[in-house]
Amino acid sequence: MSCPSFQGMRYHPWRHARDLDIAIEFVPNLRARATYSAGLIQIRAGLSQRERRAAVAHEIVHYERGDDGVACSRWHLQKLERQVHLEAARRLITIEDLADAVIGEPDYPCMAQKLWVDDYTFRLRLAYVSDEEREQIQHLCPSEWRIA
């Protein structure tokens, strides 16, 4: 797929991991996309650059929250993972960048590529735009463009 490039990236998860003294290693056949434990993020080998970027940001949020991977039920674990990934998505995709990506681009995979994130991260960020963020986007976008 060929999409125009986007230069608005502001959050750098690799740099953030380095600043936190978190080591990153690639692991073949890792079941999860990535894991964090004791100062080490492990990423499944073979992920795309966009997937790796989202995975590192996600695991940094776990580190900052002090998560231990334990939840009282599968439902709670899924809720925790969604909250963590939403925070990672907010760091990776600013409202200004989101507005810039969606103007004139009807294709979600191309929007995600412009923002240098995987499709899931983009869709999650878009699905959880707050009312305040929605107003910001509408202010940034041309008058003929509106969020449904």
What per-residue confidence (pLDDT) applies to 6? 43
User: Helix (H, G, I), strand (E, B), or coil: what is residue 24?
Assistant: strand
Whole-number average pLDDT of the chain? 88
Give the tens place of pLDDT for each residue, 123-135: 999 999 999 998 8
Contacts of 27 (CB under 8 A, 6+ apart): 42, 43, 44, 45
Contacts of 44 (CB under 8 A, 6+ apart): 26, 27, 28, 29, 30, 31, 32, 33, 34, 55
The pTM score is 0.86
- Integer Cα distance of 44 and 124 in angstroms: 21
Q: In which band, very low, low, confident or very high, does the pLDDT at 76 lie, cut at 50, 70 and 90?
A: very high
Contacts of 19 (CB under 8 A, 6+ apart): none
Q: In which band, very low, low, confident or very high, does the pLDDT at 100 lie, cut at 50, 70 and 90?
A: confident
Q: Is the pLDDT of residue 5 over 60?
A: no
Specify the fold of 11-92.
Zincin-like (3.30.2010)
Per DSSP, 111 falls in state: H
**Identity of the residue numbered 13:** P
Helices (H) and strands (E) in the chain, counts: 7, 3
Average pLDDT, integer, range 63-86: 92
Q: Is the pLDDT of residue 63 over 90?
A: yes
What per-residue confidence (pLDDT) applies to 103? 79
Task: Report the percentage of the chain scoring pLDDT > 90.
Answer: 64
